Amino acid sequence: MSMFCYQCQETAKNTGCTVRGVCGKNEEVAKLQDLLIYTLKGIADIVIKNKIDISNIPDTNHQVLNSLFMTITNANFDGDAFERQVKKMLGYRDALVDKNDSGLHDAATFAVGSREEMLDKASTVGVLATENEDVRSLRELIIYGLKGMAAYMEHAANLGKKNIEVNEFIYEALAATLDDSMTADELVALTLKTGEYGVKSMALLDEANTSTYGHPEITEVNIGVRNNPAILISGHDLGDLEQLLEQTQGTGVDVYTHGEMLPAHSYPAFKKYENFVGNYGNAWWKQIEEFETFRGPILFTTNCIVPPKSEEIRKRIFTTNSVGYPGCPHIVPNEEGKKDFSEIIELAKTLEAPKQIEEGTIIGGFAHNQVLSLADKVVDAIKSGAIKKFFVMAGCDGRMKSRDYYTEFAKALPKDTIILTAGCAKYRYNKLPLGDIGGIPRVLDAGQCNDSYSLALIALKLKEVFELDDVNELPIAFNIAWYEQKAVIVLLALLYLGVKDIHLGPTLPGFLSPNVAKVLVEKFGIAGIGTVEDDINLFLGE
Ligand code: SF4
Ligand code: SF3
């Protein structure tokens, strides 16, 4: 076995990628990612054992987030970037060590120089280094939750919002994954605590986005094209979008969103840009064909990157933040956080306008503020029986054929039900003509995966209005699609908020050992998916 990774839903045979990632990650990158995570654990070991006041190490805190984010599925495929990051983090780590320290873990003290030494060391510290499969499963569940949390924290930090408590928790949890004395029960408790901090990180990002760009409002988004050269912006970072829109003003270059950037159209602050045309295409995995017809440059602000099939497309790809791809220009901010996108804009001017692949509009902007402003209408519709049930179908999309389930499920839902969605999972049904209930669309899109937080707030508000003791008494079912590690933190956040009986698909995570899966089933009622018909009957109690 040359590598081992089982962090995403598409992991080979649902057990682990062992030769090359299904995502395209090669052995070297997989190993350097393992070593980077191990180095972060070493930093955490020193921070916790030496009781370091982390308010004094802001750069280390930030780079811990960035490192975690870099290892998320489809974020960064650049081996050189990982080698540099490992070296950088070893530098931060060694600066924290006191020469009188004793009792530190190997992760806090190991030394490597060359790439070869790094790869050798990585072979001994990856996921499988934890022999007990239940402990391994819980440790990885926590680590994947931290990765998702770090991504959300980084976006918030890019807009100037921080919460040092969350950084402290990240150190605590990273260090705990090195601690062989932790019992399975303690690790389960830490998993729930990870969910608690997941809620805090999503709340922080929500505050960062809404205080900077306003609250999302109901918006029709154009899915057709205009006849100008254009740039496609993908990923989740709204700060990058703002800078791109500012810099493209008056250049004759249009801007379109792809994948998870779609919800940006619902923020009031972006509506003033005349060249912010619409959304092009679908979820991340369709980029292979959609980048071909888009014809202009693409800026990735976060995952999901799919390794480009042709040299022509690779030459149009630019990355920033934690993402990277070998040979693609990576744009870094200056001291004031400003990024220079002129190279992308100049390239766009030399390329053809996008080819139209769809036309019409889709509707979005149903985040908490907008939905709560419609609360009376929604509550009346529930009371009158016009709305019988809500289905939270948030999460990720992916390539697997079995995800057709979600399209079929949405189609088969009775007309008196509403889908609440967030994340790129929505592309499985957001263009279906599902109609509305008394003017309320049957698919309410709260935004990006992190905006699952909005869905939780909406549920908690309904619980209050209906004076219920438990959120599970509401007519809301959870049928979530997962793919990468941001969906893991969303799931842990929902568990922490007390949501029970979540159905998770299209497969249960391969990283759950049978015993850990059993705990999740018994304690939280987690279940997989079945056939559309059986599941609808089950959810509707028929
Ligand atoms: Fe495999 Fe997913 Fe890991 Fe990629 S991220 S190597 S597809 S488990
Ligand atoms: Fe999608 Fe990658 Fe997860 Fe933010 S863009 S939800 S998969």
Summarize pLDDT for 479-536 with one digit per residue, the tens.
Answer: 999 999 999 999 999 999 999 999 999 999 999 999 999 999 999 999 999 999 999 9
**Domain closes at, from 212, 246, 264:** 212
Cα separation of 320 and 298, whole Å? Answer: 11
Same domain assignment for residues 335 and 411: no
Q: Which ligand is nearest to the CA of 491?
A: 2
Mutate to test the pocket of ligand 1, among 4, 9, 17 (most ligand atoms within 8 A of CB): 17
Which pLDDT tens digit goes with each residue over 374-387? Answer: 999 999 999 999 99
Contact 529, 505 (CB under 8 A): yes
Pocket test for ligand 2, best of 152, 201, 285, 396 (most atoms within 8 A of CB): 396
Tokens read off for 195:
């969910």
Residue 313 DSSP code: H
Classified as helix, coil or strand, 440 is strand
In angstroms, what is the span from residue 21 Cα to ligand 1's centroid?
5
> Using alpha carbons only, what angle is made at residue 144 by residues 173 and 326, rounded to the nearest 5 degrees?
120
Predicted confidence at residue 21, as pLDDT, reads 98
pLDDT cut 90: percent of the chain above it: 98
Of 187, 212, 237, the position where a domain reaches its end is 212
Coil, strand or helix at 257: strand
Ligand number nearest to the C-alpha of 2? 1
Q: Are residues 132 and 197 in the same domain?
A: yes
151 and 238, same domain (yes or no): no
* pLDDT (0 to 100) of residue 101: 78
What pLDDT band is residue 1 in, cutting at 50, 70 and 90?
A: low
Ligand 1 atom closest to 11 (CA): 8
Mutate-to-test residue for ligand 2 from 284, 298, 427, 452, highest number of ligand atoms within 8 A of CB? 284
Residue 1: inside a domain, yes or no? no
Tokens of 119: 């790869």
Can you tell me the distance from the alpha carbon of 215 to that of 374, in angstroms, rounded to the nearest whole number? 14
Whether residues 208 and 250 share a domain: the answer is no
Q: What is the pLDDT of residue 194?
A: 98
Q: Which atom of ligand 1 is nearest to the CA of 3?
A: 6
Q: Answer whether 470's CB lies under 8 Å from 495's CB.
A: no
Q: How many domains does the chain have?
A: 3
Residue 2 lies in a domain: no
Q: Which atom of ligand 1 is nearest to the CA of 17?
A: 1
Of 408, 415, 423, nearest to 540 (Cα)? 415
Closest-lying ligand 1 atom to the alpha carbon of residue 8: 2
User: How far apart are alpha carbons 448 and 443 in whole angstroms?
Assistant: 14
Query: Residue 128 in contact with residue 3, Cβ under 8 Å?
Result: no
Which ligand is in closest contact with the Cα of 71? 1
Q: Which atom of ligand 2 is nearest to the CA of 74?
A: 2
Cβ of 9 below 6 Å from ligand 1: no
Q: What distance in angstroms lies between residue 236's CA and the mean position of ligand 2's atoms?
A: 9
Residues 205 and 238 in one domain: no
> Which residue, judged by its Cα, is nearest atom 3 of ligand 2?
396
pLDDT in tens, 225-252: 999 999 999 999 999 999 999 999 999 9
Alpha carbon of 285 to ligand 1 centroid (Å): 14
- What is the token pair recorded at 444? 């309410």
**Ligand 2 midpoint to CA 259 (Å):** 8
CATH of the domain at 90: 1.20.1270.20
- pLDDT tens across 306-343, in order? 999 999 999 999 999 999 999 999 999 999 999 999 99
Query: Per-residue pLDDT averaged across 1-21, rounded?
Result: 96
Half-sphere exposure of 388 (CA within 13 A, CB side): 8
Torsion of CA 146, 166, 55, 324, to 10 degrees: 40
**Quick one: DSSP state of residue 216?**
-
CA dihedral 485, 132, 20, 170 (to 10 degrees): 30
Write the DSSP assignment of 110-127 as a string of letters: ----SHHHHHHHHHHHSG
- Mean pLDDT across the chain: 97
- According to DSSP, the β-strands at 436-437 and 440-441 are antiparallel
Is 7 within a domain?
no
* Residue 10 beta carbon below 6 angstroms from any ligand 1 atom: yes
Q: Are 8 and 484 in contact (CB under 8 A)?
A: yes
Atom of ligand 1 nearest to the CA of 24: 4
Give yes or no for a contact between 38 and 85, defined as CB atoms under 8 angstroms apart: no
Give residues (CB < 6 A) around ligand 2.
74, 236, 259-260, 284, 303-304, 396, 423-424, 448-449, 483-484, 486-487
Q: How far apart are CA 517 and CA 482, in angstroms?
A: 16
Residue 60 lies in a domain: yes
Whether 227 and 277 map to the same domain: the answer is yes
* Ligand showing the shortest atom-to-Cα distance for residue 3: 1
The answer on 176 and 234 residing in a single domain is no
CATH (domain of 443): 3.40.50.2030
Amino acid 100: pLDDT: 77
Encode burial over 182-209: b for 16+ CB neighbours within 10 A, e otherwise.
Answer: beeeebbebbebbbebbbbbbbbbbebb
Ligand 1 contact, 240 CB (< 6 A) = no
**How far is Cα 471 from Cα 494, in angstroms, rounded to an integer?**
11
Mean pLDDT over 418-444 rounds to 97
| Whether residue 191 has its Cβ less than 6 Å from ligand 1 | no
230 in the same domain as 126? no
- Answer yes or no: do 77 and 125 share one domain: yes
214 to 199, 272, 350, 372, 498: CA distances (angstroms): 20, 13, 34, 15, 29
Would residue 142 count as lying in a domain? yes
- What gap in Å lies between CA 473 and CA 471, rounded to an integer? 5
Q: Tell whether the model's pLDDT for residue 440 goes beyond 90.
A: yes
Residues 229 and 328 in one domain: yes
> ω into residue 8 within 30 of 0, thus cis?
no
In this prediction, residue 99 carries a pLDDT of 76
* Reported confidence tier of residue 212, pLDDT bands at 50, 70, 90: very high
Round to whole Å and give the CA distance between 247 and 7.
37
Residue whose CA is at the smallest distance from ligand 2 atom 2 = 304
- Return the residue matching tokens 């390794």: 307
Domain boundary among 296, 317, 349: 349
Tell me, yes or no, whether 361 lies in a domain. Answer: no
CA 314 – CA 238 distance, rounded (Å): 23
Q: Encoding tokens for residue 205?
A: 């990002």
Nearest CA to ligand 2 atom 7: 396
521 lines ligand 1 (CB under 6 A): no
Please compute Rg for the chain using Cα positions: 23
- Please indicate, yes or no, whether residues 143 and 249 belong to a single structural domain of this protein: no
Q: Is position 111 within any domain?
A: yes
**CA 442, 447, 448, 452 torsion: positive or negative?**
negative
Q: Which atom of ligand 2 is nearest to the CA of 304?
A: 2
| Side chain identity, residue 364 | G
The Å distance, Cα 178 to ligand 2 centre, comes to 29
Residue closest via CA to ligand 1's atom 6 equals 21
* CA angle 154–156–157, rounded 5-degree value: 65
Q: Domain containing 443: what range?
A: 371-539
Give 87-116 pLDDT, tens digit per residue.
Answer: 999 999 999 998 777 899 999 999 999 999
pLDDT exceeds 80 at position 144: yes
| DSSP code for 268 | G
Q: DSSP secondary-structure letter at 285?
A: G
Asked, for residue 229, whether it belongs to a domain, the answer is: yes
Same domain, 240 and 259: yes
150 pocket-lining for ligand 1 (C-beta < 6 Å): no
3-state SS class at 527: strand
Distance, CA of 254 to CA of 274 (rounded, Å): 9
CB distance 297 to 233 below 8 Å? no
Query: Does the beta carbon of 485 sit less than 6 angstroms from any atom of ligand 1?
Result: no
